[in-house]
């Protein structure tokens, strides 16, 4: 699988190396697509998705930390450098229920995610292990922002948004059935590019390029919900560029 992460955080790098040495992780993620792609005919939710969420989450983390925003793993009395470990593990395992069932997937796979995380973490200090497990599993179970299960940590909010931002060309996080033409599939294919950049008035600007207004469905029906419940909405500015057939660009104000 080889997940590549550019980092000076040796704690994170050790965990990345451990994950890359475990063939069961790639098989675990592939099992998501056995259910979703092969059986349910949904779009991809497996290995590639995990890599993208890792990249998005660590990018968002870096920009928030740059602006002095606190990561909540320190509430456990552990070092802030473990926040990236929390994000990495949650990004890999947030969809851990998918190999079992899509329904309630954010909840029903937690036992499996916990077992995998414990193996990855190995013999670290008990206090650190509990902190990482607690906050990683919290990020997993709250990433859909459903019912009472909403993020109450910065790290969980990051995972929720990072997951939603995997929406480039057919990679929409609102599942759509392959080969079926409806608003879900049309909106997914309309989004061409997502860029996470340094903001001017807020820490983070997200630029979303789309070739059809159908792409607004992905933004207004998923990303807005995630932003509203992430606890991080004030740190983001979302800008949508509509690229028309003649190459002209139109800025869409969606009120996010």
Tens-digit pLDDT profile for residues 16-49:
999 999 999 999 999 999 998 889 888 888 999 9
pLDDT exceeds 70 at position 174: no
Report yes or no on 203 lying in a domain.
no
Number of structural domains (the chain) is 1
**Spatial separation of the C-alpha atoms in residues 207 and 2, rounded to whole Å:** 28
| Per-residue model confidence (pLDDT) at position 132 | 98
**Spatial separation of the C-alpha atoms in residues 141 and 160, rounded to whole Å:** 10
Domain containing 36 equals 10-185
- DSSP for residue 252: E
Quote the pTM value. Answer: 0.93
The CATH number of the domain holding residue 116 is 1.10.3210
Report yes or no on 251 lying in a domain.
no
Report yes or no on 233 lying in a domain.
no
Write out the E strands in 70-217.
191-198, 204-210
> Nearest to residue 117, comparing CAs of 99, 129, 105?
129
Report yes or no on 130 lying in a domain.
yes
Report yes or no on 132 lying in a domain.
yes
Report yes or no on 198 lying in a domain.
no
């Amino acid at each position: 699988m080889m997940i590549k992460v550019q980092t000076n955080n040796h704690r994170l790098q050790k965990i990345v190396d451990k994950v890359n040495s475990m063939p069961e992780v790639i098989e675990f993620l592939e099992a998501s697509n056995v259910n979703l792609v092969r059986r349910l005919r949904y779009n991809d939710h497996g290995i590639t998705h995990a890599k993208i969420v890792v990249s998005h989450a660590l990018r968002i983390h870096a920009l928030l930390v740059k602006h002095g925003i606190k990561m909540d793993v320190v509430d456990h009395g552990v070092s802030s450098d473990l926040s990236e470990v929390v994000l990495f593990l949650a990004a890999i395992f947030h969809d851990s229920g998918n190999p079992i069932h899509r329904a309630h997937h954010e909840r029903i796979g937690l036992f499996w995610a916990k077992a995998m995380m414990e193996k990855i973490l190995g013999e670290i200090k008990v206090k650190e292990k509990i902190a990482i497990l607690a906050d990683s599993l919290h990020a997993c179970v709250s990433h859909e922002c459903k019912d009472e299960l909403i993020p109450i940590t910065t790290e969980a909010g990051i995972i929720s948004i990072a997951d939603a931002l995997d929406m480039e060309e057919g990679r929409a996080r609102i599942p759509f059935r392959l080969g079926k033409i409806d608003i879900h599939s049309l909106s997914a294919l309309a989004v061409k590019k997502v860029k996470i950049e340094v903001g001017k008035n807020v820490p983070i600007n997200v630029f979303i390029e789309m070739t059809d207004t159908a792409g607004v469905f992905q933004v207004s029906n998923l990303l807005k919900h995630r932003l509203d419940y992430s606890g991080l909405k004030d740190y983001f500015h979302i800008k949508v560029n509509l690229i028309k057939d003649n190459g002209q660009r139109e800025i869409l104000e969606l009120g996010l």
